[in-house]
Structure 1
Amino acid sequence: MFKLYDISTAIRPDMQVWKDNAAVRPTFENTSNHQTGQTYGTRIGIDAHTGTHLDAPLHMLDGGATIDTIPLQDLVGTARVLDLTRVVDAVTAEDLKPHAIQPGEWILLKTRNSFTDRWDDGFVFLRADGAAYLAELGIKGVGTDALGIERSQEGYPTHRTLMRAGVLILEGLRLADVPPGSYFFVLAPLKLEGIEAAPARAFLLGS
């Protein structure tokens, strides 16, 4: 029997958003309801980087590929959850080296970020040297449990190093209840065209 872990953030108006910026909060507008004798309908407004979302190279690279060009086969396969909950500030290359990371894997970083639903200016991020290490190894993608994979780095070297190496970036995961280990991973971003990111549903299957 397999156990399924939903590692996606629930989208709601009061959810955690980047820098607590009200302008990017999701909106749910009731457009019809049963009290008026109609069916119940809702119009939603969300930013492309809402909750769990997949970045495309266009987000950081001029002329970069858009979200619809990412092959679906790259979004399904083996993923490993790494326990990095002891990390206080940033995940570095030295933090990653003991995990024997292999080419072609998805690597999901479980940090203290997974244990809060509130915005934290000091969220744990992937430092530039950690990104360079993962890029050199040739992993398929890296997921983080923060709304951003980096902060406080001029020029966005973490994003750009990974994107230039063809490593996919998934942000906004929820990994609090997921033990470290290997899983079958499925990522399903919304089928949007011509833009730099898409909200996504992500889950893991494990024994």
Structure 2
Amino acid sequence: MRILYDVTMPIHEGMMVYKNKAEKRPAFATTADFPTHGVHETKVHLDVHTGTHIDAPLHMLPGGATIDQLDVRRLVRPVRVLDLTDVQDAIHADDLVRFDPQPDDFLLLKTRNSFAEAFDFEFVYVAEDAARLLAERRVAGVGVDGLGIERGQPGHPTHKTLFQAGVVIVEGVWLREVPAGSYWMIALPLPLVGADASPARILLAEA
């Protein structure tokens, strides 16, 4: 049997959220219980960028495509996990050239972020020059193990460069236990009509 990795962050009220912002924390409320209703039901208040999620172009591009317009066939496919745990700050083009990205590659970037126990305001991110390289190489998608693909870049050039090139962006992929190598990925966002992102369950199977 193939080894299967679940690289999805569990969603709970005390989970890691971007910049520890209170408004990004999920909230759960019991709306029915057994003593009163004979069943148990729960209501969830959830930011669409919570935990492991997939961004849609609308997140950064006015008039951009929404998450329900993303063809999920683009997310059930081969991927490569790249070991970038030696990078301490930003992933630059020179860090990626050694892996020789090819057209239609879907790359998951494993960094020290996967080992963080709490939100790190100095998390490893993808710099603009790296985004340009990925766009020029015509990769299909890129996933990162931080809750954001960029950090403090005015104008969000990494997101925009990738979206304008048609590159799928996945954030919050938990790669701590996943060795570098080739895998088969199943990454399914919810079809939230008109939304700019969606949480996703992401599984990796050995290729």
TM (norm. structure 2) is: 0.97
Aligned AA for 2:174?
Answer: R
User: How far apart, CA to CA, are the structure 1 residues paired with 2:29 and 2:198?
Assistant: 21
Shift of 1:127: 0.4
Q: Which residue of 2 aligns with 1:137?
A: 137
Q: Which residue of 2 aligns with 1:125?
A: 125
Deviation at 1:201, TM superposition (A): 0.5
Q: CA deviation at 1:191?
A: 1.4
Identity %: 50
Q: Residue 76 of structure 1 aligns to which amino acid in structure 2?
A: V
Please, which runs of 5 or more residues in structure 2 have no aligned partner?
Answer: none
Tell me the secondary structure at the aligned position of residue 79 of structure 1: strand
- Residue 49 of structure 1 and its aligned partner are, at CA, apart by 0.3
The answer on whether the counterparts of 1:7 and 1:203 sit within 8 Å (CA) in structure 2 is: yes
- Matched-pair contact (CA < 8 Å) for 1:52–1:200: yes
Task: Give the equivalent residue in structure 1 for 2:22.
Answer: 22
CA distance in 2, matches of 1:112, 1:4: 22
- In the alignment, what sits opposite 2:45? 45
Letter in 1 for 2:86: R
Q: What's the counterpart of residue 105 of structure 1?
A: 105
Pairwise CA RMSD of aligned residues? 1.0
2:193 aligns with: 193
The alignment partner of 1:101 has SS state of coil
Name 1:148's counterpart in structure 2: 148
Q: What is the rounded CA distance, in whole Å, between the counterparts of 1:118 and 1:103 in structure 2?
A: 35
Q: Is the 8 A contact 1:54 1:171 kept in 2?
A: yes
- The alignment status of 1:65 with 2:56, answered yes or no, reads no
Structure 1 position 187, deviation (Å): 0.5
- 1:169 counterpart residue number: 169
Q: Distance in 2 between matches of 1:51 and 1:97?
A: 28
CA contact (8 A) 2:68 2:190 kept: no
Shift in Å, 1:44:
0.6
Please report how far the alpha carbon of residue 37 of structure 1 lies from its aligned counterpart in structure 2 after TM superposition.
5.2
Q: Secondary structure at the match of 2:120?
A: coil
Question: Match of 1:99, SS?
Answer: coil
Corresponding residue SS for 2:29? strand
How many residues in Structure 1 have an aligned counterpart in Structure 2? 207
Alpha-carbon contact 1:15-1:117 (below 8 Å) kept: no
The 2-side partners of 1:145 and 1:185 are apart by 15
Residues 14-57 of structure 1: CA deviation (Å, up to 9, x unaligned): 00111101111000101122233521111111001000111011
Following superposition, the deviation at residue 58 of structure 1 comes to 0.5
Paired residue for 1:90? 90
Secondary structure, in 3 states, of the residue corresponding to 1:133?
helix
What amino acid sits opposite 1:171 in the alignment? E
Per-residue CA deviation, residues 138-159 of structure 1 (Å, 9 max, x unaligned), is 1110000000000121110000
2: CA distance between counterparts of 1:175 and 1:8? 9
Q: Which amino acid aligns with 1:3?
A: I
| Cross-structure match for 2:80 | 80
